[in-house]
Amino acid sequence: MVKWRYAVILDAGSSGTRVYVYRWLDSARARQSASPKELKSLPEIKTKKHWTKKIQPGISTFADKPSRVGPDHLDKLLKHALDVIPEPDVKDTPFFLLATAGMRLLSDADRDRILSEVCSYVKSHSNFLVPDCGIHIQVIPGATEGLYGWIAANYLLDSFDGDTDAHESGHHTYGFLDMGGASAQIAFVPSEAEARKHANDLTLLRLRNLDGSIQEYKVFVTSWLEFGVREARRRYVEALQKSAGGPKTKEIPDPCLPDGLRTSLDGKPVSSESRETQLFGTGRFDECLELTYPLLDKDAPCPDEPCLLHGIHVPAIDFNVNHFVGISEYWHTTYEIFEMGYKDKAYDFNTYQERVNQFCSQDWSAIEKGISEHRWGSKVDEDKAMEVCFKASWIINMLHSGIGIPRVGLDSVKASTQNGTKEVLEHGKEKGYLSTFQAVNEIDSTEVSWTLGKAVLYASSLIPVGENDLPVGFGSNQPGVPPDFQYPSIRGPTIIKETDFETWREALFGGESPRRIPGLLLFLLIVVIMAFYLCGRNRRGRIYHKLQSFFGHKGSRFSRGLGGKLLGLRLNSPAYERVMEEGGLDLGEMSGSSESDRGDSLDYDSSKSPSKRSSLFNGSNTPTLKFELDNGSGSSIGLGISNIHDRQGMVLRNDSREHLVPAVASGSRSRAGSPTRMYRKSPVLAPMDGEQ
């Protein structure tokens, strides 16, 4: 029985592709040692840091050379995954490449060409499980990416392990925020009042516990394309250039760059003598905040109230109920520089903005010196330092002016009629997520990545259930299985019927029970007995004689007692093999039958005329019959013995010539010496004409 299950998931982002390998116990094994609480929990997914690998750039850069995406990009990631997963498990390990915002910005034709090349390369260079490229290799919508991230964050925060009935408000999950290079996502479960008001805007998510019971959540998820830091920066530079007089202007002041730093429009350092259009930093962070605020597009028309950004509908957020965690750029921009160099790690709006002001107002030469001294940690290089002031202003505007998260120390949280705040705080107290917003990178040493959410969903779908149970996945907020329901993989493996055989197999081969060895021996004994009775009467007779010679002479207690009964033989009679009774069947009665009607296993002299075939079973004309061992034949009956039927459906007896003589007799082949044979019937043959 399989012990571990694996999944390989590639996050094909705008700036690079990262491979993740996840592992969990097979559900049958996990249930053997699970406590009652664990049986009501989702599968335990594990990963390790060295199981992850990232390469750059993103696959979207292969739009003009799609044939190179395999050898130049995927090859290293496939080899890394194959080094992690044991070779026997590869064929059962699903492979997913899920592309995000970078690929969303390409044309449909460019996307299709790249994905087609990815599918072909993975199938030809690995044995990973890819039953449907349309599901396993695709560009996922931003809402799906946000939902996977919401699953991952709440899974690591143990939000799915609690008893929902224990929370008076029924609310015990965290909100989720993600920001990459091209897009930003938000996912949360609204308060009960908002959920009723905006039921049609919610996504139904269904997960399955180890014991087969389900967990369902109604989550609001949305995504803002072009609201990631790279795309926001592009829009910001375009606005700067336009306000400065257009493309003819060669020098443009940029308050989001440290004082004294000069870059090209795409952010590369340049000298003052360069003739290309360049940005020169002024180090005015307050002005930077003002210039990035319009990028939120909060004044866009809102056809479905309420909206947050860019006219996109979002239900009202009750921050007394919804506490958020943020990953990716929310983490990198708040932690790598503005917390690494300080003892106090807690997020506080006043403290954070003060540190950003202090950093960005420095002269660029002072920042370069701090980088060389590793003042902000070894991960901070010049490229990150050049970008961080813009990123910080964008993060602050997104969090507080865009989404509306209260500025700790300045804004008060609006009173709520929901009483879920205490439960949420108690639930996350040990992990320290007490603030309305907390940037995270890892929880319990596991990276918070949306790919983990995909792995949780897939592992949950493999848990055996009844045939009529609802499947794992997500779709529109409708009962049952809505038309747009998304399965974790192909639909087939999601429903597995657990049989009694599976229970026996686990009892015999799994677990640490002291009865495991006796059970295994009993199982082997049953297999031997079954094989013994299936081997045929003749072979059983030969086995008996061997046992007889081993235990004693023919009249011993063994031969008279248990041995004879088990073998089903008449042991007081001469040991004859099966013979064909005279007059049993006259082939001449099958008028007009061809040789093919009699079956390929019948071998006779083809020179005989049809008129003589009626006596083939008499005297010296007894035919030679063959047992064909081709079990693939349509006339085979299990052990390779071919059936021969006449046109009325009668079964012909076709024992071979060598079995027509007594096993212990010699000399004449007379049939008169068979005193007990008579008309013993085979249990697998239909009665012949004349038999009763």
Long-range contacts of 469-474 (CB under 8 A, 24+ apart): 469/212, 469/214, 469/495, 470/206, 470/214, 471/206, 471/495, 472/206, 472/207, 472/208, 472/214, 473/206, 474/147, 474/203, 474/204, 474/205, 474/206
Q: State residue 645's pLDDT score.
A: 44
CB 21 within 8 A of CB 85: yes
Residues 395 and 341 in one domain: yes
Domain limit, last residue, from 353, 380, 408: 408
Q: How far apart are CA 222 and CA 197, in angstroms?
A: 17
Domain count, the chain: 4
Any domain includes 447: no
Q: State residue 601's pLDDT score.
A: 39
Any domain includes 211: no
Any domain includes 512: no
Residues 240 and 265 in one domain: yes
Which one of 145, 339, 423, 577 is the catalytic residue?
Answer: 145
Q: State residue 584's pLDDT score.
A: 45
Residues 275 and 360 in one domain: yes
Q: Where are the beta strands (DSSP E) in 260-401?
A: 262-264, 278-281, 324-328
Residues 589 and 560 in one domain: no
Q: How far apart are CA 603 and CA 623, in angstroms?
A: 7
Q: How far apart are CA 527 and CA 533, in angstroms?
A: 10
Any domain includes 358: yes
Any domain includes 539: yes
Any domain includes 166: no
Q: State residue 410's pLDDT score.
A: 54
Residues 296 and 378 in one domain: yes
| Orientation angle between helical segments 349-360 and 285-292, nearest 10 degrees | 110
* Mean pLDDT per 10-residue segment, the chain (692 residues): 91 94 94 91 95 95 95 97 96 96 92 97 96 95 96 94 48 90 94 92 96 94 94 96 85 94 91 85 95 96 92 91 91 79 64 88 93 85 93 95 81 38 40 73 91 97 86 94 92 44 45 55 80 75 72 51 50 46 43 41 40 40 42 39 42 41 41 43 43 44
Q: How far apart are CA 519 and CA 498, in angstroms?
A: 20
Q: How far apart are CA 215 and CA 161, in angstroms?
A: 10
Q: State residue 408's pLDDT score.
A: 66
Residues 658 and 567 in one domain: no
Q: How far apart are CA 642 and CA 373, in angstroms?
A: 85
Q: How far apart are CA 42 and CA 458, in angstroms?
A: 11
Q: State residue 527's pLDDT score.
A: 81
Any domain includes 630: yes
Question: Among 141, 235, 227, which Cα is nearest to 178's?
Answer: 227
Residues 562 and 529 in one domain: yes
**Residue 187, H or E segment:** strand 183-188
Question: Among 214, 222, 683, 148, which Cα is nearest to 452's?
Answer: 148
CA 256 and chain centroid, separation: 43
Rg (CA), the chain: 38
Domain limit, last residue, from 388, 408, 428: 408
CB 232 within 8 A of CB 295: yes
Residues 347 and 374 in one domain: yes
Residues 613 and 547 in one domain: no
Residues 607 and 670 in one domain: yes
**Residue 229, H or E segment:** helix 229-243
Q: State residue 249's pLDDT score.
A: 84
Sort residue 214 into left (φ over 0), alpha (ψ -120 to 50) or beta: beta
Q: Provide the β-strand partners of residue 204.
A: 218, 475
Q: How far apart are CA 537 and CA 596, in angstroms?
A: 28
- Token digits for 576? 């004859």
Q: Give, as one character, the DSSP assignment of residue 363.
A: B
CB 548 within 8 A of CB 559: yes
Q: State residue 675's pLDDT score.
A: 44
CATH classification at residue 83:
3.30.420.40
Helices (H) and strands (E) in the chain, counts: 22, 19
108 CB-contact burial (10 Å; exposed 0-12 / middle 13-18 / buried 19+): exposed
CATH classification at residue 265:
3.30.420.150
Q: Which domain holds residue 57?
A: 1-140
Residues 263 and 126 in one domain: no
Four-point Cα dihedral 619, 621, 622, 627, nearest 10: 170
Please state whether the peptide bond connecting residue 43 to the residue before it is cis, i.e. omega within 30 degrees of 0: no
Amino acid at residue number 288 = C
CB 237 within 8 A of CB 351: no
Q: State residue 551's pLDDT score.
A: 59
Any domain includes 454: no
Domain limit, last residue, from 140, 163, 180: 140
145 tagged catalytic: yes
- Pure H helices in 40-182: 69, 75-84, 101-104, 108-125, 133-136, 142-156
Residues 548 and 651 in one domain: no
All residues at 6 or more sequence positions from 281 whose CB lies less than 8 Å from its CB, including other chains: 254, 255, 256, 257, 258, 259, 260, 261, 262, 263, 364
Q: State residue 376's pLDDT score.
A: 82
